[in-house]
């Protein structure tokens, strides 16, 4: 969704309507209030001093007989405009100072960062008061003082954001091209850090309003005969027991105006950050359920009987993602498979083919916005409740005992703040009823089993003290705490070096041989899959196009054109060197190729194929309605 | 004739004192004009750091990097301009283009920088648009792609455009840092074929960094093997593959999964 569309969506919520109304009112008062009520607000009436609320004066009058409400309204202009000016000055100078270290680099840059850090150490309001005293008692001085007080925070925020962008490859590419640094900063850094800065600026403006009123209240800001809300508060507070409204009304105005800026920040934040979670609308859900029910009544929909010895069996698995407001796109379309006890099954396919989604739906680990259904699913003799409410039901009670999971990135699948050993032992504590000592002993034993050297000492180390391969071994060790009958592995070697990959593959093979554990191994690398697995499932655009033994695959007996094309693209140590390498072109389409076993396309819901990997990442931006945004070339081709 | 790129006992050390980490340890390596030299090794072996030092993204702690006879390490001013003849293509197709700029704008930036470096006047926007179409054509993509945003392209297409951006700078040397390791195997070939074709046509040399020995074997004329910051073996590709001298090279070769 584009920023504009997100903004509209955010404004349609009750909070959005409220923000719009509040901002509109504040803007109107700021621009026109003095012109409309200014003169009447300035009228002093010595016969009406400190009057209580009456028909003539809604909130009464102050110590000089002036109408409190009119004065409060008229004071909006000064209060808000000064706060906005302070915010603009503070944010701009903060951004400038925050970017300078990148432009200057080297020692000068480090000094500026040090200066910012010292500035951040002082409380903002204290800085504002100090500078206000130094600069003199006037509105301009108070504005400047608040801007100066804001500078360190903004400098720090900008610097942090910019430094993270600075590490991206497109910045490196521009530097290697010799683009001048200031151009890189203006062209590449600033636009990419803009959004969080804007959201923060809106919220900061609320803070500036309160600070400014505070300074005026202390007698440092606006001076008589001018008045803002802080000044009014100052004059009213001494008589608060006589005419409470004189202090309360400007006080309430400050609170309301401050809240308006916070609301604005909230709406900006919603408009500028891509939403990550969207669920299917109830209409679409109903349609999907009806369709599933219809499938069940059809004779063709009767699931094939499960094999006796299968540890995992699934019939007609479908995963759908929301697409626009009223449509879904099918990411996994009618996939059926069995994993026999003690078997190693590989799943291959390109990114976006739905292979990881298939695995993750078995584990109940899909994004909640996705809709999962299956005619039947069975794990270890037990029915899986995939269909409960149309959402994946968790398999929690299997994890740690009968099912284990290994993820791609061993760094992010272990908690960096906890000892590796205690994370391995956790399964024993949670699921196996062990006490702390037993769990520890079992964990050390499992760490030894996956060949972690010096396991007893390594138990107490943190993930960063492990190498990538060792972290992956530790993850496997954690899965082995129970006696799993199935290990689900999602690209477990993709992030590893080839030599380490070979070790992990050997380890998985050994676990399979010694304990008879079945493994479902997802990878984009068909060479890795065939070297490890006995059987290979090939997925293409959400469908299972081939279910073939590794032996047949290696012997070139693949039936589906896509499988053969995929095999041809794998470079090996015997591929001829002089010739162009094989690849699958952008416009290739294998949908009709071969005698694939994918189930028929379901009717009723408009089906659009999507990028399953984007769905995995919860990447709503790319799952969204706009076809052109999908990065999968095959997807784009199909839609053109 | 393009000049050669030579590393003369280059070391890169990060940090100071006890925390110092030697990423590259006195490496001597010569990239001959017009050749493709494969550089293999595990992650953390220093192969990317070596490349980053050559383009000025990292400064060598000692040693020199030369392009022809000109030292380009630690270069400032006009000499730094010479360093722009060494270009780099990065690993991650997700982050190699500014997500807020069109492909055309990104390529235009490279063209303008190239003209500045060569001291020629920057051509008109219209002429540059033609040049951008030519660049896209050379990586087998239609000219309309100039209007697209990076998020609208597949990883393979983005890597091809990343090659086009490097070409736009009229380089003598291209450092290709794991340019296909984030891509599907099925599109890897299209990117590598393209790089090889352009290399034949334009005559630049390529330092082809990869952890995939099978790919390096197909693409490279010679292979260099790095481990823990040191160069352990350099030789003709087939010699190294068939008759590896170093234990680590043997281990790498045996770890390649076969079909």
Domains of chain A: 3-272 (1.10.3720.10), 285-402+483-573+581-633 (3.40.50.300), 409-482 (no CATH)
Average pLDDT over residues B178-191: 88
Which residue in B152, B189, B254 is closest to A569 by CB distance?
B189
The CA R_g of chain B, rounded to the nearest whole Å, is 18
Distance separating alpha carbons of residues A34 and A31, to the nearest angstrom = 8
Mean pLDDT within A42-53: 80
**Cβ distance of B255 and A584 shorter than 8 Å:** no
Backbone φ/ψ region at A156: left (φ over 0), alpha (ψ -120 to 50), beta: alpha
On chain B, the residues whose CB falls within 8 A of the CB of A632 are: 154
**Cα(B73)–Cα(B60) distance, rounded to whole angstroms?**
7
Q: Tell me the pLDDT tens digit for each residue of B221-237.
A: 999 999 989 999 999 99
What are the chain A neighbours of B249 within 8 Å (beta carbons)? none
Q: What is the pLDDT of residue A29?
A: 92
* Confidence tier at A8 by pLDDT (50, 70, 90): confident
**Cα distance between residue B51 and residue B10, in whole Å:** 11
Q: Is the CB of B259 less than 8 angstroms away from the CB of A530?
A: yes
Q: What is the pLDDT of residue A405?
A: 86
Chain B residues with CB-CB distance to A572 below 8 A: 214, 256, 258-259
Mean pLDDT of A240-267: 90
Please tell me the predicted confidence (pLDDT) of residue A304: 60
Q: What percent of chain A has pLDDT over 90?
A: 30
Cβ atoms within 10 Å, residue B59: 10
Contact flag B90-A172 (C-beta cutoff 8 Å): yes
Query: Helices (DSSP H) in A218-279: which residue ranges?
Result: 229-237, 245-272
Model pLDDT, residue A280: 61
| Predicted confidence (pLDDT) per residue in B55-81, tens digit | 988 889 999 999 988 888 887 777 778
CB contact under 8 A, B255 and A179: no
Separation CA B6–CA B207 (nearest Å): 11
pLDDT at A290 over 80: no
Whole-angstrom Cα Rg for chain A: 33
pLDDT at position A598 is: 33
The model's confidence at residue B186, banded by pLDDT at 50, 70 and 90, is confident
Check residues A195 and A367 and name the one with the higher pLDDT. A195
Per DSSP, the three-state class of A154 is helix
pLDDT band at A631 (very low <50, low <70, confident <90, very high): very low
Indicate if the pLDDT at residue A94 is higher than 90.
Answer: yes
pLDDT category, A430, cuts 50, 70, 90? confident
pLDDT at A640: 32
What is the mean pLDDT of the segment spanning B140-156? 90
Question: What is residue A52's predicted lDDT score, i.e. its pLDDT?
Answer: 81
Residue in A172, A497, A577 closest to B217 by CB? A577
Cβ distance B80 to A351 less than 8 Å, yes or no, reads: no
The nearest CA of chain A is from the CA of B137 a distance in Å of 15
Residue A262 has pLDDT above 80, yes or no: yes
CB contact under 8 Å between B156 and A586, yes or no, is: yes
Burial of A41 (0-12, 13-18, 19+ CB in 10 A): buried
Contact list, A629 vs chain B (CB under 8 Å): 151-152
CATH of domain B5-254: 3.40.50.300
Sequence-ordered list of residues with C-beta below 8 angstroms from that of A619, at least 6 positions apart, any chain: none
Interface mutation vs chain B, best among A170, A469, A562, A629, most B CBs within 10 Å: A170
Region at B77 (left for phi over 0; alpha for psi -120 to 50; beta for the rest): left
pLDDT at A404 over 90: no
Mean pLDDT, rounded, of chain A: 81
Q: B21-47 pLDDT, tens per residue?
A: 889 999 999 999 999 999 998 888 889
Q: What is the least distance, in Å, from the CA of A314 to any CA of chain B?
A: 27
Indicate if the alpha-carbon torsion angle A412, A415, A420, A422 is positive or negative. negative
C-beta neighbour count of A317 within 10 angstroms: 25
Give the residue from B157, B138, B163, B195 showing the smallest Cα distance to A585. B157
Average pLDDT, chain B: 90
Q: Residue B251: list chain A partners with CB under 8 A.
A: 499
Q: In chain A, what percentage of residues exceed pLDDT 70?
A: 84
pLDDT of residue A306: 66
Sheet holding A543-549, edge to edge: A403-406, A486-490, A518-523, A344-348, A535-540, A543-549
Per the CB < 8 Å rule, is B257 touching A577? Answer: no
pLDDT at B198 (0 to 100): 93
Stronger pLDDT, A634 or A269, i.e. the higher one: A269
| Secondary structure element (H or E) that encloses residue A142, with its range | helix A139-166
Nearest-Cα distance to chain B for A180, in Å, is: 9
* Residue partners of A487: CB distance under 8 A and separation at least 6: A403, A404, A405, A406, A476, A479, A508, A511, A517, A518, A519, A520
Q: Give the nearest chain A residue to B93 (CA atoms).
A: A169
Q: State residue A402's pLDDT score.
A: 83
Q: How far is A632 from chain B (nearest CA, A)?
A: 5
Chain B CB contacts of A621 under 8 Å are: 151
Between chains, do B98 and A170 touch, taking CB under 8 Å as contact? yes
B187 chain-A contacts, CB cut-off 8 A: 350, 583-584
Select the more confidently predicted residue: A402 or A276: A402
Mean pLDDT, range A484-505, rounded to an integer:
87
Nearest to A525 among B113, B154, B185 (CB): B185
A169/B91 touch (CB, cutoff 8 Å), yes or no: yes
Do the Cβ atoms of B218 and A575 come within 8 Å?
yes
CB A473 within 8 A of CB A500: no
The pLDDT value recorded for residue A470 is: 87
- pLDDT for A293-330, tens place per residue? 665 554 444 456 666 778 888 888 888 887 766 777 88
CB-based contact B80 A178, cutoff 8 Å: yes
Continuous H helices in chain B: 47-54, 78-83, 103-118, 125-138, 155-168, 185-202, 213-219, 237-242, 247-254
Q: pLDDT band for position A608 (50/70/90)? A: very low
pLDDT of residue A279: 60
Distance, in Å, from the CA atom of A444 to the CA atom of A335, rounded to the nearest integer, reads 39
Beta-carbon separation of A583 and B215 below 8 A: no
Query: In which band, very low, low, confident or very high, does the pLDDT at A616 lie, cut at 50, 70 and 90?
Result: very low
Q: Looking at the partner chain, which of B91, B218, B258 has a beta carbon nearest the beta carbon of A527?
A: B258
pLDDT at A112: 94
- DSSP characters for A327-388? EEEEEEEEEEEEEETT-EEEEE--TTSSHHHHHHHHHT-S-TTSEEE-SEEEETTEE--TTG
Structure confidence at residue A292 (pLDDT): 63
Neighbours of B254 (CB within 10 A): 12
Q: What angle do CA A98, A102, A104 make, to 5 degrees?
A: 105
pLDDT of A618:
40
Output the pTM of the full model. Answer: 0.82
Give the pLDDT of residue A251: 92
E strands, A374-455, in order: 376-379, 382-383, 403-406
Please judge whether B154 and A622 are an interchain contact, meaning their C-beta atoms are less than 8 angstroms apart: no
Predicted local distance difference test score (pLDDT) of residue B136: 94
The domains of chain B are located at: 5-254
Distance from C-alpha of A479 to C-alpha of A401, rounded to nearest angstrom? 8
Q: What integer is the mean pLDDT of B148-152?
A: 90
Residues B96-107, mean pLDDT to the nearest whole number = 93
Q: Is the pLDDT of residue B11 over 60?
A: yes
Of A343 and A57, the one with more pLDDT: A343
* pLDDT bracket for residue A629 (50, 70, 90): very low
Q: Specify the 3-state DSSP secondary structure of B30.
A: strand
DSSP character at residue A219: T
B97 CB neighbours in chain A (<8 A) are: 170
């Amino acid at each position: 969704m584009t920023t504009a569309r997100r903004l509209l969506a955010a404004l349609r919520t009750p909070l959005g309507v409220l923000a719009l109304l509040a901002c509109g009112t504040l803007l109107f008062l700021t621009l026109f209030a003095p012109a409309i009520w200014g003169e009447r607000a300035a009228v002093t009436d010595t016969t009406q001093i400190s009057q209580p609320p009456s028909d003539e004066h809604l909130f009464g009058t102050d110590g000089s007989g002036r109408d409190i409400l009119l004065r409060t309204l008229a004071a909006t202009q000064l209060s808000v405009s000064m706060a906005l000016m302070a915010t603009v000055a503070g944010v701009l100078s903060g951004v400038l100072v925050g970017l300078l270290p990148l432009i200057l680099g080297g020692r000068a840059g480090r000094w500026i960062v040090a200066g910012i850090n010292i500035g951040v150490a002082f409380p903002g309001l204290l800085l504002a008061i100090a500078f206000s005293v130094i600069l003199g008692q006037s509105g301009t001085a108070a504005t400047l003082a608040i801007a100066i007080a804001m500078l360190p925070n903004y400098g720090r925020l900008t610097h942090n954001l910019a430094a993270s962008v600075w590490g991206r490859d497109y910045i490196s590419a521009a530097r290697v091209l010799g683009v001048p640094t200031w151009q890189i900063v203006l062209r590449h850094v600033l636009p990419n850090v803009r959004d969080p800065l804007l959201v923060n600026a809106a919220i900061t403006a609320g803070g500036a309003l309160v600070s400014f009123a505070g300074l005026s209240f202390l007698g440092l800001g606006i001076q008589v005969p001018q008045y803002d809300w802080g000044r009014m508060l100052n004059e009213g507070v001494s008589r608060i027991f006589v005419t409470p409204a004189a202090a309360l009304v400007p006080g309430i105005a400050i609170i309301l105006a401050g809240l308006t800026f916070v609301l604005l920040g909230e709406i900006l934040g919603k408009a500028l950050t891509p939403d990550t979670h969207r669920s299917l609308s109830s209409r679409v859900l109903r349609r999907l359920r009806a369709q599933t029910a219809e499938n069940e009544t059809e004779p063709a929909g009767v699931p094939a009987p499960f094999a006796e010895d299968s540890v995992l069996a699934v019939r007609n698995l479908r995963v759908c993602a929301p697409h626009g407001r009223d449509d879904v796109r099918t990411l996994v379309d009618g996939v059926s498979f069995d994993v026999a006890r003690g078997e190693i099954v590989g799943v291959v396919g390109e990114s976006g083919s739905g292979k990881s989604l298939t695995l993750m739906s078995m584990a109940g680990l899909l994004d909640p916005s996705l809709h999962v259904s299956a005619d039947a699913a069975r794990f270890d003799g037990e029915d899986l409740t995939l269909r409960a409410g149309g959402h994946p039901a968790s398999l929690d009670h299997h994890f740690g005992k009968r099912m284990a999971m290994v993820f791609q990135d061993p760094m992010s699948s272990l908690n960096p703040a906890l000892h590796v050993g205690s994370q391995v032992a956790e399964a024993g504590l949670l699921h196996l009823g062990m006490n702390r000592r037993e769990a520890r002993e079992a964990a050390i034993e499992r760490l030894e089993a996956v060949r972690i050297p010096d396991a007893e000492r390594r138990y107490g180390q943190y993930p960063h003290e492990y190498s990538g391969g060792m972290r992956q071994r530790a993850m496997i060790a954690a899965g082995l705490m129970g006696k799993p009958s199935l290990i689900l592995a999602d690209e477990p070697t993709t992030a590893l070096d080839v030599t380490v990959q070979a070790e992990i593959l050997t380890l998985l093979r050994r676990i399979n041989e010694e304990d008879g554990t079945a493994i479902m191994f997802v990878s984009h690398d068909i060479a890795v899959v065939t070297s490890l697995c006995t059987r290979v499932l090939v997925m293409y655009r959400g469908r299972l196009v081939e279910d073939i033994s590794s032996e047949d695959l290696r012997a070139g007996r693949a039936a589906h054109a896509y499988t053969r094309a995929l095999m041809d693209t794998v470079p090996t140590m015997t591929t001829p060197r002089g010739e162009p390498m094989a690849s699958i072109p952008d416009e290739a389409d294998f949908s009709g190729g071969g005698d694939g076993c994918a189930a028929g396309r379901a009717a009723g819901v408009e089906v659009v194929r999507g990028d399953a990997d984007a769905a995995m990442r919860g990447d709503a931006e790319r799952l969204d309605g706009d076809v052109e945004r999908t990065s999968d070339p095959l997807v784009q081709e199909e839609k053109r | 004739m393009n000049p050669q790129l030579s590393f003369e006992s280059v070391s890169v050390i990060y940090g100071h004192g006890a925390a110092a980490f030697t990423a590259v340890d006195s490496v001597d390596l010569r990239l001959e004009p017009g050749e493709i030299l494969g550089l293999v090794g595990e992650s953390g072996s220093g192969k990317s750091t070596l490349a980053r030092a050559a383009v000025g993204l990292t400064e060598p702690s000692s040693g020199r990097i030369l392009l022809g006879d000109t030292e380009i390490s630690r270069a400032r001013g006009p000499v730094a301009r010479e360093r722009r003849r060494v270009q780099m293509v990065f690993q991650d197709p997700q982050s190699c283009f500014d997500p807020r700029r069109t492909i055309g704008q990104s390529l235009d930036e490279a063209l303008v920088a190239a003209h500045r470096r060569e001291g020629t006047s920057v051509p008109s926007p219209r002429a540059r648009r033609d040049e951008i179409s030519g660049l896209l054509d050379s990586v087998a993509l239609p000219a309309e792609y100039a209007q697209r945003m990076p998020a609208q392209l597949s990883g393979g297409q983005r890597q091809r455009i990343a090659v086009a951006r490097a070409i736009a700078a009229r380089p003598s040397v291209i450092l290709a840092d794991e340019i296909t390791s984030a891509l599907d195997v099925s599109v890897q070939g299209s990117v590598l074929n393209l790089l090889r074709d352009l290399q034949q046509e334009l005559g630049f040399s390529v330092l082809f960094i990869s952890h995939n020995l099978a790919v390096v074997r197909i693409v490279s004329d010679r292979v260099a093997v790095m481990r823990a910051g040191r160069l352990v073996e350099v030789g003709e590709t087939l010699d190294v593959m068939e008759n590896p001298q170093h234990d680590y090279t043997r281990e790498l070769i045996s770890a390649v999964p076969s079909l």
